[in-house]
Amino acid sequence: MESTELHYVTYDPEEIWKAMIAAYVDGGGDVLYPGDEKEMLLRGVQAIVTQVFAAVDNALRMQTLRYATGEYLDVYGENRNCARLEAAYAAGTVRITFQATGSAKTIAAGTAMTADGDRFYKLAADVTQTGYAQVIDAEVVCTENGSRGNGVAEGTAMQFSITNPAVTSITVTAETAGGQEAEDDDTYRERIRLYGLASVTTGPASQYESAAKAVTSEIIDAKALNLGAGQVGIYLILENEEGADAILVAVSEALNAEDVRPLTDTVTVTEAVAVPYTLNIQYRIDEDADSSVTAALATAVTEYQAWQDNTIGRAFNPDRLTANLYKAGAVRVIYAEGSAFDGGDVEYTEIGAAERCKGTISLAVMAE
């Protein structure tokens, strides 16, 4: 049994066995040896008792926010009015133009079309072709869930996967949006902690932020700021720019609902302003260092960039990156020509409360 985590029932299979043998002998039983039929029977009982202890311990752990997983975590969240964000399919609208054919036909719901041969969308409902020249607007839904289906822009040309001679054109009239991945356990657990354990109505900044994040898993960070009397600004960092407009609208509608915001508030939603940086890093490592050091340096950069870029209002802090690179195994680190933060020097810099850092980092071995 893992001893580094909290357990509600502690047990040791060997201690259970010793207690069973002691009880057996006290009850008049003989000393047992491996292979004895009675010993084998008692070993089976020991296994069952151990499983019961483990099951009880697990059941108790699954009732806690810290350890609950899967459907147990779903139940925990639902009991606190905070349901898991399920995977969703992106949807949009297309305009189908037909030429006259003289014969009526129905294009069945589920008929697939594509713009690039990679992402496919299906008709949400039957489309009736009258045989005359006509134009029909129809809803289409991506065939796979997740954010990948977002972002087919208005005006994009599409075509059916099986050629229909009556169709002269298919054009997107409403950008595909609304697709999202299912919320993973760790993200959902944190949202329950921030949102599900608090009042569902907004007012304090943290509740506005939590309610914004509850709209879609595509939101990495949200920041609520007081813009003046009765004015609340919500600033977001989105995982993908595709479908960004639809997400902003959805968050705005959610936070302006009368059962969510105070009547005195007017809420505006926008993406956080990105402050750019470029870091061209040159490094040196020991001559006898192996490839694991190079991999560790790359990991340090990836982790730093996620930390730096994914939080609104976080100051630009290259010192953190430098320290992590030395910790990963570099013996010297410099920021080479072309490195800059917002057009200035690479140094610790505070940014605005509604801003976020967003940049690029390159790694290269220092020339001898």
Domain-wise residue ranges, the chain: 91-177, 198-271, 274-365
Task: Assess whether pLDDT exceeds 70 at residue 3.
Answer: no
Give per-residue pLDDT as tens, 66-92: 899 999 999 998 888 788 888 899 999
Supply the mean pLDDT for the chain.
89
Instruction: Give kind and range of the element (H or E) at residue 273.
Output: strand 273-285
Give per-residue pLDDT as tens, 153-185: 999 999 999 988 899 999 999 999 989 888 899
Give per-residue pLDDT as tens, 8-53: 888 888 888 888 888 887 887 777 777 778 888 888 888 999 899 8
What CATH number should be reported for the domain whose range is 91-177? 2.40.30
150 vs 81, which has greater pLDDT? 150
- CA–CA separation, 291 and 163 (whole Å): 52
Measured at the CA of 213, the angle between CA 211 and CA 215, to 5 degrees, comes to: 80
* Residue-level length of the chain: 368
198-271 has CATH 3.40.50 classification: no
Task: Give percent of the chain with pLDDT exceeding 70.
Answer: 96
- CA–CA separation, 93 and 1 (whole Å): 55
Task: Assess whether pLDDT exceeds 70 at residue 255.
Answer: yes
pTM: 0.55
pLDDT-derived band at 5 (thresholds 50, 70, 90) equals confident
pLDDT-derived band at 2 (thresholds 50, 70, 90) equals low
Determine the pLDDT at residue 342: 95
pLDDT-derived band at 228 (thresholds 50, 70, 90) equals confident
Mean pLDDT value across residues 195-216:
74
What is each CA distance from 210 to 192, 194, 203, 271, 307, in whole angstroms? 9, 6, 11, 16, 19
